[in-house]
Structure 1
Amino acid sequence: MSYLFPAQAKITPSFSEPELIVQYAQASGFMQTMEKGKMRVRMGQDDLAVYVNSLNIQTESVASQFGSNWLPSVSLQAQFDQALTYVLRNRNNYDDAMERAAARYNVSLPNALELGQRQGIYQQLRSMYWYGYNASNNEGILNTQGATSVTLPADTDGNTTVTAYNPNDMYQFILQQIVLMKSRMYQSGAQIANRIVIASAQREFLQFQYSSVVQVTSYQRPGGGTNTVAGAIQKIAEEAGDSIEWVYDDTLIGKGAGGADMVVITIPEIEVPTMEDPNTNIFGKLQPSTKAVNVQYADVAAPIKTITPIPDGGLTQMLEMRATAGWCWRPQGVTLISMPY
């Protein structure tokens, strides 16, 4: 904790620009991979764990021309899972002298400290969501047990890196991963429309969006033009009734197998497949049920701020909230792709 606002020497007359040159950090899109694009603010401030129940079914029946003395039955298997919660806190002290020093730079010190503290907690939430604290407990989306993990295969020219990869092959590869995911989740049919989120480091998506152009022999837009990998995937998904969201997170750099970059494809909310009766998924109508695939629980939507005086003068400003790590309830809805850049 340090504040550096050195004394200033200015020429008079002069003009001082009131606007600040502020240091920026990446605004991560990790929350878009959650159910409804936000945390579940449902737990209490003192809750040490979150539990969820699940129910699996196996069905069987018999068919014969005459009655049978032996009849099969439905088998139900209930289980529950848990996620530990963690307290996120940070604190800053300041006094009147520090406030006045900051004011010479046109900075509101309490506001700057609060925003900085919030950013620290939010970055910690992002790290908890992706990586968790204890991989053996399956904490974090990247540690999801049962998630599909693949490595980018060589293209038709033998290239294995994103920058050298054949755009036509990349376009087909990503679409194939989406097809496989929707198939695993039974997300097909006229009434199914999915929100598909692809999270990657900037250098992957920007490559797909700007540099990797799909040739006209693989994808043709109305009017005979060509498109980029990202644009072609987006268009195909829209025509199929789905939507594609690309989000950035540079902490995924180097998090794949062998130090490759990680690209995460997920469907954050599952849609219940349904048909007119006889509906072979009628058990899916059982309530209460959830459509969530990826979740992160918190006790509050934003950190709680507490300001208290300190004995030697000044104030202590503390921010605090409690949250779980990232938690995937349906591993079929997550594909982890290691892409060497």
Structure 2
Amino acid sequence: MTQSFSFSLNATDGKARTGVISTPRGDIRTPAFMPVGTAATVKAMMPESVAATGADILLGNTYHLMLRPTAERIANLGGLHKFMNWDKPILTDSGGFQVMSLSDLRKMSEKGVTFRSHIDGSKHELTPERSMEIQKLLGSDIVMCFDECPALPADRTRINESMQMSMRWAQRSRDAFGDRPGYALFGIQQGGLEEDLRAESAAALRDIEFDGYAVGGLAVGEGQEAMFNVLDFAPDQLPTDKPRYLMGVGKPDDIVGAVKRGIDMMDCVLPSRSGRTGQIFTRHGVLNIKNARHADDPRPLDENCGCPACRNYSRAYLHHVFRAQEMISGMLLTWHNLHYFQDIMQGMRDAIATGSFAAWEADFHAGRAQGDIEPL
């Protein structure tokens, strides 16, 4: 078992890359999709079920965990892995994004952010140093530096000021993180949709030196076309020998487009949140289980899917338990969605390794354009 953190690139096809991030808790095959375990759980899933979908790593949420049950409590109970019964790697975000989205409950300064808890109104302060301390208490394998992420659209002056402060906070995060063998700290590139500001941010992060680099400040309302325009240049501004992580993405076609442009890691609540609301992702596009067309349909969601929802249950049953608001509905539909997202990742890893990514991508888009099977 490796005792250090490393990244090896095994193959490239165009800009698409496949490789392995090695950590003391296990390997992460890239491109990797990280299910989001906000409050130390991927909602509606057992940890072993999440692993069964093919996930090598989970994301935990600093903001939510620091408020409840608190990082100190988790540390006293043996750390986040033990607490939630997940023995593979965990990445924690810095808390910055959640705090920024509390615009009416927060005050920001050069030092950091003070805010009121959305749970009980109690007052808290989050700084680069405190974010590093919390993530160390949690024991996450990959720690994200503390940054500010302005919502788009924003004017260039605001984006530049925010990026400059995020770079100062990145240096403070690096200093506070210290020397922790086996654990990794990722820097976060900012700069909105501006190529020159992104380049300046990337240069500042490279000077500080991180174990991996995230493309931050996207998937915040700018739309897919604008996001892809940034991804046409942003990953190329980051080191090729370190993992590149696109935060908060996304839909299946967002993920494929990001990997095509050189991204190695992604996370999103979409597969689990959609599972709980009856939205299902399949090779043939998106279907809604609440629709009456499924009420008498004995067929599976997808006859070629190996997840328990597709292997063992009919559309009619899944429609019924969703309508009846039975807990098993969210469990089965979330499992299916996470399984499908991991299938996409495996498909891309295989295609990049054999130099057939373009053909795989064409098949992927053709399948989704077909739409769902005809109603009975």
Structure number with the higher strand fraction is 1
Question: With CA pairs under 8 Å and 6+ residues apart, which has the higher RCO, 1 or 2?
Answer: 1
The TM-score normalised by the length of structure 1 is: 0.23
TM-score, normalized by length of structure 2?
Answer: 0.22
**Bigger CA radius of gyration:** 1
